[in-house]
Structure 1
Amino acid sequence: MRPEPSKSSPVWFRRSRFALLALLAVAAVFLAACDPAPPPAGPPSPDPVRAIVFKGLGTWWDVYDWSPSFVSSRNPAARPPHGIADVDRLAAAGVQTLYIQTATYRLPNEPLLDRALLRQIVDRAHSLGIRVVGWYLPEFNDVGYDLERFVEIARFGFDGLGIDIESTANADVAARSQNLITESAFLRGVFPQLPMAAIPVSAVIWEELNRSWWPNFPYTELAPLFDAWMPMAYWSYRTPQSGWFDPYRYVYESVVRLRRATGNANLPVHPIGGEAAKLSGPDLFWMNAAMVDSGSIGGSIYDDATTSPDLVGALGLFRRDLVK
């Protein structure tokens, strides 16, 4: 708990924002003053201990699912479907990590949504043995704006941080890539012990199905900065005619191509299947088979709100032993 003034007061907000900006400025000067790190000898080696945070069965909440501020901003009479009681449901279902979106560009003045409720959710999850990872979808237009939101995650007490890598709001692909690298390097430099995951679109899309989405994606530059990678392997978006409407093939190829692109055959990967509303028990069986055959550290489907109760049993296949 912070002392007075309260977090809702203008005084606290000004102080908090000033402290954050000061942290960003000092860290930026520090990083700029450092000599560039030499390239790693051999394949990059994400920290295996930090990667444990992303191991096993996960589930996903976005701001539509849990944030009263966001939901009511779109419909004043609406309320989010999930709350603290749902954390108990997740624990009963064997979920090992909850991935929760902490902010959205749709509410640009809120770098961390519903702080008090978020604290209750995280505390309840921790009391039940569930890890919690905060994630955010940046647009890669304004590095300072994005970092303000990521630093909120890093300082809040989450077990890890995830960067959702899919936005094309910055149409300049080279600038978009550079901003992604800059933000990732900043976070790794300032928070060296923070477990971090990259959450990119599947390489199946970027290499084959839609090469114009993010050409020349900087896999090798990012590989040393993240402890785990969580590709969005949403085979339900594909058609049977495409040859990719196949949970095993899509998930397996998403993992293998990612490891090849990063140059790390042992890259810790946690594929995300989806979308949940379109999946069946057999789909999850084959997804897990792909996870096992590819040596993935865990898996999940997007998202919890659209996951049928009928899938809970099959999702138990994704659980993994968390012993280091």
Structure 2
Amino acid sequence: MAVTQEQADWFAGAFSQLVANVDKAILGKEHSIRLVITAMLSGGHVLLEDVPGTGKTVLAKALANTVEGTQSRIQFTPDLLPSDVTGVTIYDQSSGRFEFHPGPIFASVVLADEINRASPKTQSALLEVMEEGVVTVDGVGHPVGAPFIVIATQNPVEQAGTYSLPEAQLDRFLIKTSLGYPDHATTVDLLLDSSNRSRAAAVRPIIASDSVTTLAQLASEVHTDASVMGYLSEIVTATRDDKDAALGVSIRGALALARAAKTWAISAGRTFVTPDDIRDLAQPVLAHRVIVDPESEFAGVTAADVVERAVASATPPAYRAA
């Protein structure tokens, strides 16, 4: 069913309200907030990577507080076990049966703080649930429900005692982004309000969890022309053929960009996806899925460079605004 212009306008208004609500806690980072909300409404997950003290956890908490649903926070540490995340089956003597006790992963919004500090075994416990929305314990599948989003944070510094996320894990994140330091004016505003030590706590819910599901369903019905999807395919193929790439973007990555582009388009009040939507999201959706050849990486080439070249090499289709 095609999305009407009236529905697109309603979606854009709701999207702007969500951004404004989260912005109460994170000042001057509207673009990053839009990316995170786009991931949530596209059925994906977010990896926030930045230096300490830039507001990664505050952003995740603010989004969790914006959605009137369940939320949880998992502080990843080296001694964290997979069962501490997913839950465990315990024998109940009174009933004579094994009962499942769900872990903190069973929430609408899950904050996985410093995910790279947990062991690979614990990190891998997130693979199934992030992809399929199901946790399997002792052979029994337990759906986590919808909406469901994991917002993970990690620091690119202090690598001692950390475990880098494997490629398969990174590929589960729809978007990877960073916040960076605020500009001068925003810094001054934050300093003037320095007595407020919990900005995220001031964020109140403005949308019910079932409304998030409604918005996500509407976004999935945005029109995508075959020529625009062909343009996306050219970009993805170019990352695989790049001389500096040891591994290019997978089909999962291409599908992720297609879903995110629909949400990005309707958040701007449009009923169709344009090549500009693909270009806007190429870096945050694709770059973390590219593995640069070690020699090229030593020479200074980054995954962002590979994606940038791929976008530049692809020919966008001509389109006419409706």
**TM-score with structure 1 length normalisation?**
0.27
Query: Which structure has the greater CA radius of gyration?
Result: 2
**TM-score with structure 2 length normalisation?**
0.27
